[in-house]
Chain A
Amino acid sequence: MHKKAMVIGGGIAGIQAALDLGEMGVETYLVEKGPSVGGRMAQLDKTFPTNDCAMCILSPKLVEVGSHPYVTIVSNAEVLSLEGSPCNFRVKVLKKPRYVDEDKCTGCGICMSKCPIKIPDPYNKGLSQTKCIRIPFPQAVPAIPIMDKETCRYHLTGKCRVCEKFCEVKAIDFEQKEQVLELEVGSVILACGSQEFNASLKNEYGYKLFPNVVTSIEFERILSASGPTSGHVVRPSDGKEPKRIAILQCVGSRETQAGNEHCSAICCMQAAKDAIITQEHLPEVQTAIFYMDVRAYGKGFDRFVDMAKEQHKTRFICGRIASVESNPHTDTLLIQYITQEGIINREEFDLLVLSVGLEPSESSMDAARRLVVFMDTRGFLETNTFRPVNTTRPGVFSCGSISGPKDIPESVMEASGAASAAAALLGELQSKEIRFEYPQELDIRGIPPRVGVFICRCGINIASTVDVPQVVEYVSRLPGVKHAQELLFACAQDSQKIIKAAIEEKGLNRIVVSACTPRTHEPMFQKTLKESGVNPYLFEFANIREQCSWVHQKEPEKATEKAKDLTRNSIVKVVFAEPLYKETLDVKKEALIIGGGLAGMTAALDLAEQNFQVHLVEKEKELGGNLRHVHTTLKGEESAPILKALDEEVNKNPRIKLYMNARIREISGYIGNFKTVLDPPLSEIEHGVVIIASGGEEYQPKEYLYGEDDRVVTQRELEDMLNGSDKSKLSSLATVVMIQCVGSRDDERTYCSRVCCSNAIKNAIKLKELNPRPAVYVLFRDIRTYGLKESFYRSAREKGIIFIRYDKEEKPDVHKNSNGLAVDVRDKILNKTLAINPDLLVLSAGIIPNPENKLLSQFLKVPLDPDGFFLEAHVKLRPVDFATDGVFVCGLAHYPKDIGETIAQARAAAGRAATVLSKDTIEAEGKVSYIREERCNGCGACVEVCVYNAIELDTEKRIATINEALCKGCGACAATCLASAIDLKGFRNEQILEALEAI
């Protein structure tokens, strides 16, 4: 059995899956077809609904996956075949030539600056130029250039080799050949993503014909500070700032003519975000978004759209663009569109952005074919609602948009879920820190500082601007410095040998390296120190590349002076540094799961399969939660057999201990060491992690005569009827009206309940199938059948179900009259009020949070969002985690979601929990806060500001105490403490003040 895994596709989903597997102790290959991991997220400007910079939140993940001891990135490669069976797969991987030796290259980028051939930059969607040999983008991982053979002058003419000449480490290899790697793994995750719709296929919108028509992804690049215009929003034709921007939704989505009947799930929010960000760049800009339905179905999405409308002057126009003409003199676009009222308008715009949809990518389909997993008719991977991360081939899992369009958090959730499933297949895992034997550490107590300083030339990257010998000469005279020298590439292997030799010969006990960025290189130098018996925290890193040679390229003297200053600053800081050690915490390898619904049961089974003891607490007398009322899925799968099987599995699993009719009385402790008292029984459980799966509830309507008239029911009640004995009663119906957004998207609950549109359509279709005669009206605000659910909306319309849009301001009126129930609703298309007399009125009641969330949030010190759902650590990249380590969330406790999403998230929570439970101990940070007790007044201000809950008040001693294992070293407490009783190791006040003095 091979306890290794392979993730195919290095976008955000693949990265997350590989990181989770790595953290669980599974050695993982991450195979990426391009030269760098990062995927489409690396090209985005900001992310909705928080407007976080995409690259800023992605690049830490890139660095992490690039340096993870358990993850091997195989870039510029694709999978050829997969043979064998689960746990025993043999994979053939084709590694294409880069023409750069990955082992030798230091990523200095000199080849790129010297290459004479310019090509359109694929990273910027061709809106700017790059070189034929290039690092794809500054944060690329691996940061190794790739040569484009098709345009390389040497490859074309046999002359040039400029890059080779300048490469100091001789990494250029024109003769590099394709290589086939044969790898053995136990499980595989497919995460090859999707591709953007080719807007040229819709030539009525003028893409590629008119210069000022761009796609949404091109527009992302225009908005991005790292984009072709450095974030200056200008239109391509004349470089002028646009004043009027039109964004057209559903280009290549929800269009059968374009071959894509699905909804692309992300474009509505992307458009809203682009409108907001554009207006932040250009306060006067006016943006109009042409849409069919505003699909703001996720957490905080509706609030975000409202923000775009109200604070950022964005017009949302329900209608399609009929034609686009471009004025040949001004390149201004004349757009003709039809409003929902049927009025034809003509309006001028300076820029048109086409929100291009996502569709199955060629490479995804290729991969699917080679791995022999089934795709649906559209080319997306086929999945079952109850097995959202499984493909049709055992042992092969999937995540991200390869199985249907989805946004970043959904992809990340699925990734963690797929990692959990892949790991569960491999059975019991034990993550061990890869231990290296390091020599005995030098005891520096009482020994004066002996600083060694190494100044990197970075080939000519630094040395062509900064006078490196002069810096070396200068620092060698500074107090405490016992050795100073320059290095061609400080990061090269032979440089590590030089540093080690200097430490030994000169008895150095503190090291400064002046080179590039600590973000990517610090851990490597720290390892060199450890190998020489020097504590890794007796190290400082000065960045004289980005901060000197790059920004002051035209002022070499000043750059040199600044390099001296920064190095001197680091020398002083390292003189005042102390050796630091990491605290460790033991982990109790058991999990507490709160809630025995679908989410809780799924998470419990995943963890039990990985051999962890699970305590599953359910407040009711039976398991299943809301699933007991969901009889079928949108696709028509029956849920009862699944529920029965789950119930049985949970009940008979020896590693799952069930506590029925039980509630949480008290939870204390922290990651690895929680203690919980249940009621009943009143005994204490010790556990290492907590998964919150406390679910949600159906809203009990107070409107539309619900509870006053028997003919008014909720969608859930209708579903019970449709699947029960009352079915015959339903067959005699003549008119059915469904009202959407009951208790959702109103002033009290501003959020969308996400599942009601699909539920209404599911039940409406079922009604029609039962008896095609009755008229079924669905009164809606926006139909939110996002992603692949769109086809059911289509089929509902084909079955004659009538959809009528209403506004929040003009809700339907329900009353009783002589004809029985009466529903009046204003039809905007006909501009008339329709009077319908249904014999059944079905209310699509929203999902509300579990009222007990509040108490749980207090027990676990984790936050709730304004709507009462649990608020995760980061809505994009940490969708099941909290800032408080060891606590995870899934299912309706997080936000309304459907069965498949619930299962994916539950598996994700289990996977994230397993990354903790698979370790014997948790290692804390070295740079943590500490309290000087004699100064502490116990005022508690630090307790309030610590988001990691690492500080507690010792009421007896009246002082604060820091749990170093939980401290992340953010320093918020140190900044808050008025008494200066808190200091941050590695950043002590004294150290910083001395360093400041030295500048």
Chain B
Amino acid sequence: MDGLDGVQRMKSTIIKVENKDTLRSLRKFLGRLMESKFVEALLVPKLLPGGDGFVQSLIKDSRMLEDANPIAPTMAVQSARILSELTSSPFDGRIGVVLKPCELRAAVEMVKFLQVNLDNVVTIGVDCPGTYEVGDYAEMVKKDRELSPQAFLEGASEGEIRPRQGYNFRECCQICEYPVPLNGDITIGLLGLDHSKEILLMAGGRFEKELAQKFSLELKEGNSANREKVIEKVTHKRREQRVKVIDELKERVNIIEKFMQTLSTCIRCHNCMNVCPICYCKECVFKSLVFEHRSEQFLNWADRRGAIRMPGDTLIFHLTRMSHMATSCVGCGMCDSACPSDLPISSLFGLIGSELQEMFEYVPGRDAAEEPPVSVFKEDELQAEAGSE
């Protein structure tokens, strides 16, 4: 994969799945992490009482792992936001957190902005075949009460991942190039494995030795060839889809009028900002005094232009947000899911973000030691773009 030189080499072992119950084996592993005191608590998606969705839960009592689902096919809240809250002040002991790849990448971004502190956190990244909108999942459950959580892993072993009949993955998942986690302390691998028989467990960096000792794991170098192949297959397909989506979007926004038109149905609810894991400001500048105008001001503007759109500051809101965080955007698509007007925010940020990221040779979420472009200034950067050549 391009540009992933910063990703650490991990060591791996295979966990055998008993009775073809992948989820149970995963829970057992998580339980062992808690019982062995490797972690004091676990943050992991848990089934809602109604059975029609999942929500991240902080578990202190390992018996409560019963409803935990580390492979939950929905993402109600971006966990990087939760981590930001969870790690805002020092605490004793270690917390293990189960994260989807995009959540892990967002968390790493937030480490750079000192909004997440992973010092006492063990990140457990889980392969992600793709997620569904929360509403879609609830509907699926309503239709099929017996729906097995493992059914969502279908096709993962050979890389033929397809959404459930009659549904689609969330749009951002369809074009996601990162189905596997980068740089988790522990990675749970499902792609390229027969998950009814085995799960891949990978450990790297700071906890490698401790994990190997505590769980008497025999860790080997690297991935299996088949897993590599399957990952590449999935990534390739999604990359193709991504290019298609982005190219179509480019057509839709390639001149300023079209761009404005695309965003014209925005109702300025700021949902995209509220759910974004990267938008970390305590209070958005758009909610500050700067954008509170005097009544007379509105009338002045209206006077000057004949008519003005109300409420104002919709386009500038998106542009400002884009300029603030497009370099760090991990493409989790929470903005799309939250948008009541179905604006293509995520792909728009992906379009701009990927060009910016390329310009700065930056991959968000790759490595916490990498400085984000917004806080780095080099005298010789962007010369071509600045028009000096």
> Chain A interface (Cβ within 8 Å of chain B)?
934-941, 944-945, 953, 958, 972, 976, 978-981, 989-990, 993, 997
**Bound Cα distance from A945 to B374, whole angstroms:** 10
With a cutoff of 8 Å between Cβ atoms, the chain A residues found around residue B282 in the complex are 934-937, 979
- Let me know if B280 and A939 touch, CB within 8 A: yes
Q: Which of A934, A940, A979, A981 contacts B114 (CB 8 A)?
A: A940
Could you name 20 residue pairs across A and B whose Cβ atoms are closer than 8 Å?
A: A934-B282, A935-B281, A935-B282, A936-B282, A937-B114, A937-B115, A939-B113, A940-B375, A941-B113, A941-B372, A944-B375, A945-B375, A978-B374, A979-B280, A979-B281, A979-B282, A980-B281, A990-B289, A993-B290, A997-B297
B236 CB–A CB distance under 8 Å: no
With a cutoff of 8 Å between Cβ atoms, the chain B residues found around residue A939 in the complex are 113-115, 280
**Taking each of A935, A945, A980, which has the highest tally of chain B beta carbons within 10 Å of its own beta carbon?**
A980
With a cutoff of 8 Å between Cβ atoms, the chain A residues found around residue B325 in the complex are 978
Interface secondary structure of B, over-half rule? loop
- Let me know if A980 and B288 touch, CB within 8 A: yes
With a cutoff of 8 Å between Cβ atoms, the chain A residues found around residue B283 in the complex are 934-935, 979
Chain B count of residues within 8 A CB distance of the other chain: 22
**Taking each of B280, B283, B300, which has the highest tally of chain A beta carbons within 10 Å of its own beta carbon?**
B283
B91 CB–A CB distance under 8 Å: no
With a cutoff of 8 Å between Cβ atoms, the chain A residues found around residue B224 in the complex are none
With a cutoff of 8 Å between Cβ atoms, the chain A residues found around residue B289 in the complex are 990
- Let me know if A979 and B115 touch, CB within 8 A: no
With a cutoff of 8 Å between Cβ atoms, the chain A residues found around residue B290 in the complex are 980, 989-990, 993
With a cutoff of 8 Å between Cβ atoms, the chain B residues found around residue A938 in the complex are 114
Those of B102-156 within 8 Å (CB) of chain A: 113-115
The 9 closest A-B pairs by CB, nearest first: A979-B281, A941-B375, A939-B113, A980-B285, A978-B324, A944-B375, A989-B290, A940-B114, A939-B114
Q: Chain B nearest CB: distance from A312 CB in Å?
A: 14
Q: Chain B nearest CB: distance from A968 CB in Å?
A: 16
**Bound Cα distance from A940 to B112, whole angstroms:** 9
With a cutoff of 8 Å between Cβ atoms, the chain B residues found around residue A972 in the complex are 377
**Taking each of B289, B297, B324, B374, which has the highest tally of chain A beta carbons within 10 Å of its own beta carbon?**
B374
With a cutoff of 8 Å between Cβ atoms, the chain B residues found around residue A978 in the complex are 281, 324-325, 374
B376 CB–A CB distance under 8 Å: yes
**Bound Cα distance from A326 to B282, whole angstroms:** 74
Q: Chain A nearest CB: distance from B314 CB in Å?
A: 17
With a cutoff of 8 Å between Cβ atoms, the chain B residues found around residue A936 in the complex are 282
Q: Which of A935, A937, A941, A997 contacts B374 (CB 8 A)?
A: A941
> Beyond A979-B280, A981-B281, A997-B297: 15 further Cβ-contacts under 8 Å?
A935-B283, A937-B114, A940-B113, A941-B374, A944-B376, A945-B375, A945-B377, A972-B377, A976-B374, A976-B375, A979-B281, A979-B282, A979-B283, A990-B290, A993-B290
- Let me know if A958 and B88 touch, CB within 8 A: yes
Residue of A nearest to B290 (CB): A989
With a cutoff of 8 Å between Cβ atoms, the chain B residues found around residue A945 in the complex are 375, 377
**Taking each of A953, A979, A989, A997, which has the highest tally of chain B beta carbons within 10 Å of its own beta carbon?**
A979
With a cutoff of 8 Å between Cβ atoms, the chain B residues found around residue A976 in the complex are 374-375
> Chain B interface (Cβ within 8 Å of chain A)?
88, 113-115, 280-283, 285, 288-290, 297, 300, 324-325, 371-372, 374-377
With a cutoff of 8 Å between Cβ atoms, the chain A residues found around residue B377 in the complex are 945, 972
**Bound Cα distance from A941 to B283, whole angstroms:** 17
With a cutoff of 8 Å between Cβ atoms, the chain A residues found around residue B114 in the complex are 937-940, 953, 958
**Bound Cα distance from A391 to B163, whole angstroms:** 89
**Bound Cα distance from A31 to B289, whole angstroms:** 54
Residue of B nearest to A959 (CB): B282
With a cutoff of 8 Å between Cβ atoms, the chain A residues found around residue B300 in the complex are 997
Q: Chain A nearest CB: distance from B112 CB in Å?
A: 8
Q: Chain A nearest CB: distance from B294 CB in Å?
A: 10
With a cutoff of 8 Å between Cβ atoms, the chain B residues found around residue A944 in the complex are 371, 375-376
Q: Chain B nearest CB: distance from A565 CB in Å?
A: 15
**Taking each of B289, B325, B371, B375, which has the highest tally of chain A beta carbons within 10 Å of its own beta carbon?**
B375
With a cutoff of 8 Å between Cβ atoms, the chain A residues found around residue B372 in the complex are 941
Residue of A nearest to B376 (CB): A944
Given A958-B88, A978-B324, A979-B281, also A935-B376 (CB < 8 A) = no
Residue of A nearest to B288 (CB): A980
**Bound Cα distance from A934 to B282, whole angstroms:** 8
Residue of B nearest to A980 (CB): B285
**Bound Cα distance from A940 to B371, whole angstroms:** 11
- Let me know if B375 and A937 touch, CB within 8 A: no
Residue of A nearest to B112 (CB): A939
Q: Chain A nearest CB: distance from B273 CB in Å?
A: 12
With a cutoff of 8 Å between Cβ atoms, the chain B residues found around residue A981 in the complex are 281
- Let me know if A937 and B113 touch, CB within 8 A: yes
With a cutoff of 8 Å between Cβ atoms, the chain A residues found around residue B88 in the complex are 958
Q: Chain A nearest CB: distance from B383 CB in Å?
A: 13
Q: Chain A nearest CB: distance from B244 CB in Å?
A: 32
With a cutoff of 8 Å between Cβ atoms, the chain A residues found around residue B115 in the complex are 937, 939
Residue of B nearest to A940 (CB): B114
With a cutoff of 8 Å between Cβ atoms, the chain B residues found around residue A990 in the complex are 289-290
Residue of A nearest to B88 (CB): A958
Residue of A nearest to B113 (CB): A939
With a cutoff of 8 Å between Cβ atoms, the chain B residues found around residue A989 in the complex are 290
**Bound Cα distance from A976 to B323, whole angstroms:** 11
**Bound Cα distance from A800 to B324, whole angstroms:** 69
**Bound Cα distance from A730 to B297, whole angstroms:** 90
**Bound Cα distance from A993 to B324, whole angstroms:** 19
Residue of B nearest to A942 (CB): B375
With a cutoff of 8 Å between Cβ atoms, the chain B residues found around residue A980 in the complex are 281, 285, 288, 290
- Let me know if A937 and B280 touch, CB within 8 A: yes
With a cutoff of 8 Å between Cβ atoms, the chain B residues found around residue A979 in the complex are 280-283, 285
Given A978-B324, A989-B290, also A937-B376 (CB < 8 A) = no
With a cutoff of 8 Å between Cβ atoms, the chain B residues found around residue A941 in the complex are 113, 372, 374-375
**Bound Cα distance from A938 to B371, whole angstroms:** 16
**Bound Cα distance from A990 to B88, whole angstroms:** 31
Q: Which of B113, B288, B297, B371 contacts A935 (CB 8 A)?
A: B288
Q: Chain B nearest CB: distance from A218 CB in Å?
A: 28
**Bound Cα distance from A939 to B376, whole angstroms:** 13
Residue of A nearest to B286 (CB): A980
Residue of B nearest to A944 (CB): B375
**Bound Cα distance from A938 to B116, whole angstroms:** 11
With a cutoff of 8 Å between Cβ atoms, the chain A residues found around residue B113 in the complex are 937, 939-941
- Let me know if A937 and B281 touch, CB within 8 A: yes
**Bound Cα distance from A620 to B297, whole angstroms:** 70
Residue of B nearest to A983 (CB): B290
**Bound Cα distance from A944 to B88, whole angstroms:** 21
Q: Chain A nearest CB: distance from B377 CB in Å?
A: 6
Q: Chain A nearest CB: distance from B312 CB in Å?
A: 13
**Taking each of B88, B280, B290, B324, which has the highest tally of chain A beta carbons within 10 Å of its own beta carbon?**
B290
**Bound Cα distance from A64 to B70, whole angstroms:** 67
Residue of A nearest to B371 (CB): A944
**Bound Cα distance from A989 to B289, whole angstroms:** 10
**Bound Cα distance from A937 to B84, whole angstroms:** 11
**Bound Cα distance from A980 to B114, whole angstroms:** 17
With a cutoff of 8 Å between Cβ atoms, the chain B residues found around residue A958 in the complex are 88, 114
**Bound Cα distance from A978 to B283, whole angstroms:** 10
**Bound Cα distance from A976 to B375, whole angstroms:** 7
**Taking each of A936, A937, A945, which has the highest tally of chain B beta carbons within 10 Å of its own beta carbon?**
A937
Residue of B nearest to A932 (CB): B288
Residue of A nearest to B292 (CB): A990
**Bound Cα distance from A972 to B377, whole angstroms:** 10
**Bound Cα distance from A978 to B290, whole angstroms:** 14
**Bound Cα distance from A945 to B324, whole angstroms:** 16
**Bound Cα distance from A976 to B377, whole angstroms:** 10
Residue of A nearest to B278 (CB): A978
Q: Chain A nearest CB: distance from B387 CB in Å?
A: 15
With a cutoff of 8 Å between Cβ atoms, the chain A residues found around residue B280 in the complex are 937, 939, 979
Q: Chain A nearest CB: distance from B380 CB in Å?
A: 13
With a cutoff of 8 Å between Cβ atoms, the chain A residues found around residue B376 in the complex are 944
**Bound Cα distance from A978 to B320, whole angstroms:** 9
With a cutoff of 8 Å between Cβ atoms, the chain A residues found around residue B371 in the complex are 944
With a cutoff of 8 Å between Cβ atoms, the chain B residues found around residue A940 in the complex are 113-114, 375
